[in-house]
Structure 1
Amino acid sequence: MKKLFLAALLAISVSTFAQTSYEKAMIDKIAQVEQQRKSDEFTALTNDFTRIGDKEKNQWLPYYYAAFTNIQKGRIAMREGKMTELDAIAAEAQKPLDLAMGLSKDNAELLILQKMIHGLKMMVDPQSRFMSEGMLAADALSKAEKLDSENPRITLLKAEDTYYTPEQFGGSKTKGLELFQKSLDQFKVYKPKTALDPNWGKAEAEYFLVNKP
């Protein structure tokens, strides 16, 4: 009986250590995400998160961050005017996102990333892709909102869309800024479920409200 108890205690200890190792690795990599500014830095992080996900097997968050860092690389390409690179970057982001979705159903955070991936693809040729990728992006965000209506990242993406869409197509800089403010207000009260869960976006909302680019 004593041997069985010690074996069970050892199993619990090993399991706890393994989980702690996973959390430490994730916290370290997540902390690096907001520090990166270059495309190759995000590529390195994507690879790191993918390796963690492949090791853990049943955790959706590593694949979430692998997709997110790819999307961030796409946003850099967009700012640099490298629109022809966006389809390939979006395809790379979709791979880990599909793995995450296979592990976590009806997840608003994953649908937010799906919206962003469709957005990247639309920006390759907005005029011809609005009715395809643009509609898919809107649908993904609508599904996310039904699952988590107070999520500030949903409001942030709606603010971006409203701010940058020309007025003749229903956009408005004034309404966009109002949504950025709403997002910032939501960030003040919205709490991630764990230390590893998504918590990005507040700085962007603050930037828009201060600089109004």
Structure 2
Amino acid sequence: MKKLILIAVLSFATVGMAQDKYSKGMQKAFQLWKSEKPQEAANLFERIAMAEMDNWLPYYYVAQVNTIISFGETDKEKLTQQLNKAQEFIDLAKAISPDNAEILIQQAMINTAWIAFDGATYGMTLSGQNVALYAKAAEIAPENPRVVFSKAEWDMGSARYFGKDTTPYCKDVERSLELFANFKPETDFHPNWGKDRAEMILKGCKEL
């Protein structure tokens, strides 16, 4: 009996140490990102992912960092390297957590980065994929504020591209802010972004 109790205690201690190491690593990676060191943050998220092979979050953040730094990038070789890395890690995240609305939104962001770089080459194929991704994300998590906002922003961009009125989508941005107000991420490390940008977009709506 004593041996069983000792084994149980040691097991919990080991798990606790591993979780503590994970938490400290994630906190450091976010701090690097906040300090405008995205590449260092992405590298740390990648190392955490290699140690947390059943946790989709560090994979997701490798993809997200590499996607965000690709917007505005004009060097095709560099952009391709970054977005290929993002795709590799979001595919791994999908394998760990299928039918995850946050991952679907991140996939759409990768597609959007390609379209923003070269709409003539990537717009036709990836735009249709994004419509399907946002529809599926809305089906899975209709009350997720990032799903509502990201779809609204995509719809606004599409309307703007085709010379159509973006006003009808302002109500969706407003609804996303209502959802943001009550949203609680599952853990400190789960996605919790988007509110600031939604507020900025809504302000633009009211100025129209």
Q: Which amino acid aligns with 1:57?
A: M
1:202 aligned partner: 195
1:125 aligns with: 118
* Change in 2 beyond 3 A, CA 1:160/1:168: closer
Q: Which residue of 2 aligns with 1:66?
A: 62
Does the 8 Å contact 2:71/2:116 carry over to 1? no
Opposite residue 164 of structure 1, the aligned amino acid is: G
Aligned amino acid, residue 48 of structure 1: L
One-letter amino acid of the counterpart of residue 64, structure 1: Y
Does the 8 Å contact 2:32/2:38 carry over to 1?
A: no
Within 5 A, what are the aligned runs for 1:66-105?
Answer: 66-77=62-73, 82=74, 84=76, 86-105=79-98
Matches of 2:82 and 2:3 in 1, distance apart?
A: 54
CA distance in 2, matches of 1:137, 1:129: 12
Query: What does the per-residue CA deviation read over 1:108-164, in whole Å, with 9 as the maximum and x for residues that have no partner?
Result: 111111111111122233234322011112111211111101111122222222333
Which stretch of structure 1 is more off in the superposition, 118-127 or 60-69?
Answer: 118-127
Tell me whether 1:160 sits opposite 2:153 in the alignment.
Answer: yes
When residues 45 and 76 of structure 1 are mapped into structure 2, their CA distance, relative to the original with a 3 A threshold, is farther
Letter aligned with residue 40 of structure 2: A
Please list every run of at least 4 consecutive aligned residues from structure 1 whose deviation after the TM superposition is greater than 6 angstroms: none
TM-score (structure 1 length as normaliser) = 0.85
Query: Using the alignment, how far apart are the partners of 2:154 and 2:112 within structure 1?
Result: 10
Question: Which residue of 1 is the match for residue 19 of structure 2?
Answer: 19
Residue 45 of structure 1 corresponds to 41
* Matched residue SS, 2:85: helix
Distance 2:15 2:8 in 1: 11
- 1:22–1:123 distance in 2 versus 1, CA, 3 Å: same
Deviation by residue 1:41-94 (Cα, 9 ceiling, x = unmatched):
2222111101001012211100011111111111243xxxx2735443321210
- Shifted more, 8-17 versus 170-179: the winner is 170-179
- CA deviation after TM superposition for structure 1 residue 99, in Å: 1.1
- Distance (whole Å) between structure 2 residues aligned to residue 168 and residue 74 of structure 1: 20
SS in 2 for 1:75: coil
Q: Look up the SS of the partner of 1:16 in the other structure.
A: helix
Bigger drift between 57-66 and 170-179 goes to 170-179
Task: Give the TM-score normalised by structure 2.
Answer: 0.87
- 1:177 Cα offset (Å): 2.8
- Identity of counterpart residues, as a percentage? 34
Write the deviation string for residues 186-210 of structure 1: whole angstroms up to 9, x where unpaired: 1012221222110000011112223
Q: Deviations over 1:10-67 (max 9, x none)?
A: 221121221122123223423554x255xxx222211110100101221110001111
Secondary structure of the structure 1 residue equivalent to 2:175: helix
Structure 2 unaligned blocks of 5 or more:
none
What code does the residue aligned with 1:9 have?
V
* Letter paired with 2:98: K
